């Protein structure tokens, strides 16, 4: 998995804590991981947590250019071999499906030509809402792959489909993806 670049885009839901573990697992598997966080994601976990786990700067402001010789969201979009949006909230899914580019995560998404995987995490009723289903269908049509949420106890107290898939499972899927890519070459 050396020389494989994964850009993890983290939107703001309680499952953000699992995204920290995902960065750890991907890094342990030998990948280079960079992280973009939405403003809402920063309410749950600080950028420092992701910085420590990834050993890379964390991006959250479209206008904060860490290297003045590059435009950060374009550079990250080009850098990534794979983009994973996890957790993907109803809000971020709606923005991506409807062409809204108003933060670092969304502008980077629209600038990439890399594969994009989306891992939803939300309340069971939100996940089952017709608007969310429409947005997911549109993103499928746009070429995104989805990592389905698992069923179980949700932070809101409900039981059902909506839990962010476990970091170990997502890491396994990423490793398998890169192995298939290597076998094609």
Task: Tokens for 105, please give them.
Answer: 């995560």
- Decide: helix, strand or coil at residue 172: helix
**CA angle, 120 then 123 then 125, to 5°:** 110
Task: Tokens for 160, please give them.
Answer: 């059902």
Q: How far apart are the first and last CA of the chain?
A: 15
Say how many CA atoms lie within 13 Å of 129 toward its Cβ.
Answer: 15
Q: Quick check: is 156 catalytic?
A: yes
Residue reference for tokens 């309340």: 123
Q: Which of 156, 160, 161, 177 is catalytic?
A: 156
* DSSP string across 72-87: HHHHHHHH-SEEEEEE
Distance between CA atoms of residues 165 and 134, nearest Å: 21
Query: Measured over all CA atoms, what is the biggest interatomic distance in the chain, rounded to whole angstroms?
Result: 49
Task: Tokens for 144, please give them.
Answer: 């995104």
Q: So which residues are the catalytic ones? A: 156
């Amino acid at each position: 998995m050396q020389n494989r670049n994964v850009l993890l885009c983290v939107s703001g839901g309680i499952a953000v804590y699992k995204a920290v573990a995902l960065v750890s697992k991907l890094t342990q598997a030998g990948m280079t991981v960079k992280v973009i966080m939405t403003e809402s994601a920063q309410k749950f976990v600080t950028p420092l947590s992701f910085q420590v786990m990834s050993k890379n700067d964390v991006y959250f402001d479209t206008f904060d250019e860490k290297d003045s010789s590059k435009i950060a969201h374009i550079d990250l979009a080009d850098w990534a071999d794979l983009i994973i949006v996890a957790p993907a909230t109803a809000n971020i899914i709606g923005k991506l499906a409807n062409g809204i580019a108003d933060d670092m995560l969304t502008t980077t998404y629209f600038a990439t030509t890399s594969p994009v995987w989306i891992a939803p995490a939300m309340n069971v009723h939100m996940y089952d809402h017709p608007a969310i289903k429409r947005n997911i269908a549109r993103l499928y049509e746009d070429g995104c792959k989805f990592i389905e949420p698992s069923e179980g106890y949700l932070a809101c107290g409900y039981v059902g489909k909506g839990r962010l898939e476990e970091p170990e499972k997502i890491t396994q899927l990423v490793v398998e993806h890169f192995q298939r890519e290597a076998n094609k070459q």
